[in-house]
Amino acid sequence: MNPLKADKVQFGFPDNSPHITRGVASTLNFYDPNIGAVSLSKLISERGLDSFASVSKSLVGSDYNTIQNAIDSLPSEGGLVVIYEGVYSEALTITKPVVMLARGNVSIEATDTSCISVSDASIYLDGVGLVIKSFLGNSNPSVISHTSVGVEELVFRGCSFDISNHANAEFIVASKGDVRLSDCSFTGTGKLDISSASSFVALGVSVLPELELTNMISQSYISATQSSEITLVASSLTLEGRYISCLGDNASSLTKNQVIGSRDFVAEAVVDITFPCPLSTTEYMVVFEGNTQKELPVVSNKTVEGFRVTFANPLNETVRWSIFM
């Protein structure tokens, strides 16, 4: 699928009827007999259409046939890149704010390196497929690599991340990048490593891969059907959906409607339960499954890091519990 280019769009037959013409540097001008010629960018918004570039594999009807050339053509304040259907074998470098919109099936494929390296810039991707392939396989690339002095925003909507053909690749490694994922998919075994940002948000994700949040400033949020291993370092997380495990230090906290765990009792009546990750509050209720003694234990010493459970007599079995907040 390719865009169409035209030098003039006429509304009516005479030349003095309203029409749109292409000006210098592909700017668009609107002509009306009552007001004369006006830049279309002034009519639409202050951002205008000057900061725009289109990409297609064939170059027919588009400005460029590589995404990098389209990005480089944008001014320092950034702009919009529309990408038409095709597989683009590129490793992109971005140092300005860029919005990339896919039209059709668009895939950016890199070999043994990051698909997109971002430095001190925000990006927004919509509907783009991102793939890392292996040739020598001796590097440790990430699909998205981000570094920044100040906190930037990395937004991915309806994007796919595929590292199934690279054993050492990661999905996203971002420093000071607020990552926002919406309806994205992940293929392969890899990690999301986010540090020193305001927050991390994932919505509408079926299976979220391994995640590590380090020194996050504000609360992060995940709504996924299932999350893999989660590690928190000085970070707080609200989690909706199932998860395999969540580990956190004393400077971290987890908020979830229900947390499930178990403890093996070996001739013990009193044990201290320690959470893998501290909870966000001590206002929680502990519910136990049935046990051979057919009695409810006493719960005491509740903290965000755990609680004490006391049975009347020693047990030799696995006791399962749930926490509701």
**Domains of the chain and any CATH numbers:** 8-43 (no CATH), 51-197 (2.160.20.10), 258-324 (no CATH)
Q: In the chain, pLDDT over 90 holds for what percent of residues?
A: 67
- Comparing CA positions, the residue from 317, 269, 261, 264 lying closest to residue 297 is 269
Q: Which residue has the higher pLDDT, 293 or 185?
A: 185
% helix / strand / coil in the chain, to the nearest 5? 5, 60, 35
Residue type, 65: N
pLDDT in the model for residue 66? 96
- Mean pLDDT, to the nearest integer, of 135-158? 91
pLDDT band at 46 (very low <50, low <70, confident <90, very high): very low
* pLDDT tens for each residue of 99-121: 999 999 999 999 999 999 999 99
- CB of 49 closer than 8 Å to CB of 78: no
Mean pLDDT score across all residues of the chain: 88
pLDDT over threshold 80, residue 41: no
Nearest to 190 by CA among 172, 174, 216: 172
pLDDT band at 252 (very low <50, low <70, confident <90, very high): very high
Identify the pLDDT of residue 107: 98
The contacts of residue 245 (CB under 8 Å, 6+ apart) are: 229, 230, 276
Q: Is 166 strand, coil or helix?
A: coil
Q: Which of 18-32, 73-87, 213-227, 257-271 has the lowest mean pLDDT?
A: 18-32
Confidence of residue 260 (pLDDT cuts 50, 70, 90): confident
Q: Is the pLDDT of residue 44 over 50?
A: no
| 8 A C-beta contact, residue 96 and residue 121 | yes
Could you tell me the CA-to-CA distances from 111 to 51, 103, 106, 107, 228 in Å, in that order?
30, 23, 17, 13, 26
Closest by Cα among 288, 277, 296 to 319: 288
User: Which residue in this structure is represented by tokens 């990395």?
Assistant: 154
Separation of alpha carbons 220 and 97, rounded Å: 23
The listed range with the strongest mean pLDDT (58-72, 180-194, 275-289) is: 180-194
C-alpha torsion 14→18→22→28, nearest 10: 180
pLDDT(202) > 90:
yes
Indicate if the pLDDT at residue 306 is higher than 70.
Answer: yes
CA-CA distance, 298 to 125, in Å (whole number)? 52
Give the confidence band of 161 by pLDDT, cuts at 50, 70, 90: very high
What pTM did the predictor assign? 0.77
